[in-house]
Structure 1
Amino acid sequence: MGILLITVFSCNTKQDLTSISNKIQTESDIKTENIPKITEENHDVLMNTLFGKPKYSIKNIGILVYDDTNSLDVMGPRHILGQILSAKTRFIGMKPGTFITTDGVEIAVDTVIDSINQLDILIIPGGFQGTIKNVYDKKLHEWIKKIDKNSVYTASVCTGAWVLGATGLLKNKKATTHWYKAEEMLEKYGAKYINKRYVRDGKYWTSAGVTAGMDMSLAMVYEILGKNYTEGVMLDMEYDPHPPIEGGSPEKTGYVMKYMMEAMYDAGVEPLIDSLEQVKKASEDIIIL
């Protein structure tokens, strides 16, 4: 199912469509016999009346993919932004082939960064150790900055903000990221940490961890295509989360579990950062000499 299913609704006149769209009529006022099937003749009128024209023309969406990224960081935005009918959404790798996510999902890329010079939306997902390695990948940073020059939106999900921050593009911007080391890492790159599910500062969008990437992507759809279209996307997904317990943020998680999660992250993150910082310092010393 997709957003196209919304187009099964139509009316005899543009005025009828406007009334339904603006909810001037109640559901009980709308009679099904007055809603004929969509045809080639009324399709454009229907779409324009219900949804209006997009705020921005979005033709090319790229989602960076690499080993050890989080699969939902990639797939959540891919599903939602893929509902923008005018756009082509592609997985982009730093090299050809397939990449393995943190939970073992294989993702085949459509193209590589060397072949892409322009995107309307760029999504940089997060992950674990693979993300940290990308924080130190200068070639990747230069590509992101090149794409950013002409993008409508440049965005990150979860710890993808660490990579985006390392490019310098978040300097003096408000941003968010995964809760682990959030303030420390964003301040390292000159950004101001905001503890929200997603943050927009100009053309830059950042989201908190993993699932927050879907909220951010829905906010993008809302900004580009408006409330009616976003409602359709959310209904198609049946996006109305109700987890079995309260949790999902440091503020809603017990102290012991939060401590254990931090310790687990520390064990995988801190030694890698230390080793990469040493390599970086050594290369800088060589350049100085």
Structure 2
Amino acid sequence: MTHTTTRRNVLRGSAATAAVLATAGAATAPASAAGPGSRRERGPRIGILLYDGFSLLDPTGPAEVLSRLPDATVTMIAEQRGPVRTDTGDVAVVAERSLTEVDRLDVLLVPGGGNRGIIAAMGNRALLEWIRKIHRRSQWTTSVCTGSLILAAAGLLDGRRATTYWASAEYLEETFDVTYEAQRYVRSGKIITAAGVSAGIDMALHLSALIAGEATARAVQLAVEYDPQPPFDSGNAAEADARLKKHALELLERSAV
């Protein structure tokens, strides 16, 4: 008899993994499934802002981490409900709520994006006003990559330390009253900014520890098996030469729409 090995068969190999499956199933249930008074409703309400031209990993990396926190809900939010395209135009993420439907969050996350998306977001008065409104009552306001430029445009980074995408550091300091720090993430009061793209995952783990404790944050890191071991040692802008930086920015520009 032929034995068919499937993902389900493998995961059913022990009682322990069966328990993991039950836990994961509960954790990934849609937010709309949480009824009044449910445990998930009482957990941290995390909202991630989407806008046309955002960078894909900026919101989705942190979402993968933060959605695993006990009782947490993670909701994608945009000016209008529906799919929102990334800076490359190849992928869309669905916004489940519009700005007018959300007036309070425990955590706000603003991702970065390509030049077109960032410039439009920085000049969008309705978007900036919504960010300011949410920030007034949030426990944590965060950004990833050039999302810090949007926070700065909203006036939230005045007089603060912050980080951003390495190529935008000079612009951040010259345009706003912000002190740039070349760190993976920087906390200034209740605002936490992350550096470029992948740094959002590091920031989300730090935020997880602040929300749920270090033990839980460490467990989440293991749950998503975040143990980066890239094949190249070229991800640090401080150690990159001018030629590599030029090539990197060219790739971003050519891939954007």
Equivalent position to 1:137, from 124, 137, 160: 124
CA RMSD, aligned part only? 2.6
Deviations 1:143-172 (A, max 9, x none): 000001100001110000110100011000
When normalised by structure 1's length, the TM-score is 0.70
The percentage of aligned residue pairs carrying the same residue is: 35
Instruction: Choose 64-73 or 250-259, whichever is displaced more.
Output: 250-259
Q: Which residue of 2 aligns with 1:23?
A: none
1:62–1:90 contact (8 Å) kept in structure 2: yes
Task: Please state how far the C-alpha of 1:254 moved relative to its aligned partner.
Answer: 3.1
The yes-or-no answer on 1:71 pairing with 2:51 is no
**Aligned-partner Cα distance in 1 for 2:49–2:121:** 11
Is 1:191 matched up with 2:166? no
Question: What pairs with 1:154-173 in structure 2 (closer than 5 Å)?
Answer: 154-173=141-160
Structure 1 stretch 97-106 or stretch 72-81: which is displaced more? 97-106
Matches of 1:6 and 1:134, distance apart in 2: 44
Superposed displacement of residue 139, structure 1: 0.8
Cross-structure match for 2:97:
111
Indicate conservation of the 8 Å contact 1:69/1:125, yes or no: yes
CA drift at 1:263: 5.6
**Which deviations, in whole Å up to 9, do the C-alpha atoms of 1:122-144 show, x marking residues without a partner?**
00000101122101111111000
1:202 aligns with 2:162: no
**Matches of residues 142-157 of structure 1 in structure 2 within 5 Å?**
142-157=129-144
Asked whether 1:87 is paired with 2:72, we answer yes
SS of 2:193's equivalent?
A: strand
Check whether the contact 1:246–1:252 (CA below 8 A) recurs between aligned residues: no
Aligned equivalent of 1:51: none
Decide whether the 8 Å contact of 2:69 with 2:220 is kept in 1: no
Query: TM-score scaled by structure 2?
Result: 0.79
C-alpha distance in 1 between matches for 2:255 and 2:155:
25
Gaps of 5+ in 1: 10-37, 39-56, 270-289
Contact 1:179 1:249 in 2 (8 A): no
Unpaired runs of 5+ in structure 2?
A: 1-10, 24-41
Structure 2: which amino acid aligns with 1:171?
D
Distance 2:228 2:111 in 1: 22
Contact conserved, 2:146 with 2:168, CA < 8 A, in 1? no
Q: What is the SS of the residue equivalent to 2:216?
A: helix
Question: Partner amino acid for 1:161?
Answer: S
1:232 aligns with 2:216: no
